[in-house]
Chains A and B, each alone.
Chain A
Amino acid sequence: MSSSSEAKDILRLVASGVFKMAEHAYGRSIERSISRAQIIHCARHCLHHSWQESHGTYLFVGYLDSSSTGGFSAVLKDGVVIVTVFRRRLTKWEKRRVRGRSIKR
């Protein structure tokens, strides 16, 4: 399976609400006030994803709700396991990409 299709599988599963969270990730989501609904929204409105060689996980960045942005990192292991979640602003090139693609939020 190519890495791109694996990432798409992760997005599809998370978007449909079928995933698990590592205890660490759940702790971070509590700390950062990121709910399950926001993670699902992020998967549905993902701006880009990348493979993190150093961690062995996929990183997904998108919209947590219609205004705030953030993302999560996940691996595919007997289903999707979310390793961590975070909030962050979009970088310049991500914003340019949003404008270019005119993504519907």
Chain B
Amino acid sequence: MGKETRKRTIHKTVRGVGNLDYVEMRNVPMTVDSELGNLIDSKTIQQIESSVAKALIQRNLPIRGQEVMYLRSILGLSQRDFAKELGLSHVAIFKWERAKKKPLDRVNEIAVKVFISGQLSLKITASLEAFVCRGMHPKRLVLDYAETSGRKAAA
């Protein structure tokens, strides 16, 4: 018989989710493995990715190049495919992503937010006017895994 291993779950804080240095996800569950260290389940990763994307859209944060890159990668789209969906050239997406900290134009911001909302099945309750962010980017965006997953279960 193989030796029995006890599995323990711990909760940790993950910083810089999706290479967005200001995003912090608290209480991320991980199982402790004696050989491989802490392990994160793929469903947990999916939950983290979608809750960060939802927060970016629903909290009406400005969309810049680095956010575009993050949102595109969680959908598993290449620059070319993403551009096709938005009716733009892939060069436009490349230029957005290259200028990491530069906010998008209003029209492009709305297009990206509406497209991502559709892909993540988010409800758009605000008018398009309210969809455009005019504020500054936050220094920190702190999310709680337990809260985001709980909200999902309740819905």
| CA A26 to CA B36, docked complex, whole Å | 13
Q: Are A65 and B37 in contact (CB under 8 A)?
A: no
B39 interface neighbour in A22, A34, A37, Cβ under 8 Å = A22
Q: Are A77 and B40 in contact (CB under 8 A)?
A: no
From 44 to 99 in chain B, residues with beta carbon under 8 angstroms from any chain A beta carbon are 45-46, 49, 69-70, 73-81
Say if the beta carbon of B30 comes within 8 Å of chain A: yes
Given the known inter-chain contacts A17-B42, A36-B45, A38-B73, please indicate yes or no for A30 contacting B18, CB distance below 8 A. yes
Say if the beta carbon of B35 comes within 8 Å of chain A: yes
- Total residue contacts A-B, CB cutoff 8 A: 79
Say if the beta carbon of A81 comes within 8 Å of chain B: yes
Say if the beta carbon of B16 comes within 8 Å of chain A: yes
Q: Are B35 and A77 in contact (CB under 8 A)?
A: yes
Q: Are A24 and B37 in contact (CB under 8 A)?
A: yes
Question: Which chain A residue lies CB-closest to B17?
Answer: A30
Question: Which chain A residue lies CB-closest to B90?
Answer: A67
Specify the main secondary structure of chain A where it touches its partner.
mixed
**Residues in A whose Cβ lies below 8 Å from that of B40:** 20-23, 26
Q: Are A33 and B36 in contact (CB under 8 A)?
A: no
Say if the beta carbon of B14 comes within 8 Å of chain A: yes
Interface size class of A (residues with CB under 8 A): 20 to 34
| CA A71 to CA B19, docked complex, whole Å | 18
Say if the beta carbon of A53 comes within 8 Å of chain B: no
| CA A38 to CA B30, docked complex, whole Å | 21
Given the known inter-chain contacts A35-B49, A67-B80, please indicate yes or no for A22 contacting B37, CB distance below 8 A. yes
Say if the beta carbon of A50 comes within 8 Å of chain B: no
**Residues in B whose Cβ lies below 8 Å from that of A41:** 76
Say if the beta carbon of B38 comes within 8 Å of chain A: yes
**Residues in A whose Cβ lies below 8 Å from that of B79:** 67
Say if the beta carbon of A4 comes within 8 Å of chain B: no
Question: Which chain A residue lies CB-closest to B35?
Answer: A77
Say if the beta carbon of B41 comes within 8 Å of chain A: yes
| CA A21 to CA B49, docked complex, whole Å | 14
Can you show 5 pairs from A to B with CB atoms below 8 A apart?
Answer: A19-B42, A20-B39, A23-B30, A30-B17, A37-B74
Q: List 14 additional contacts besides A35-B73, A75-B36; criterion CB under 8 Å.
A: A17-B43, A20-B41, A20-B42, A21-B39, A21-B42, A23-B40, A35-B49, A36-B42, A37-B75, A41-B76, A65-B81, A66-B78, A67-B80, A81-B36
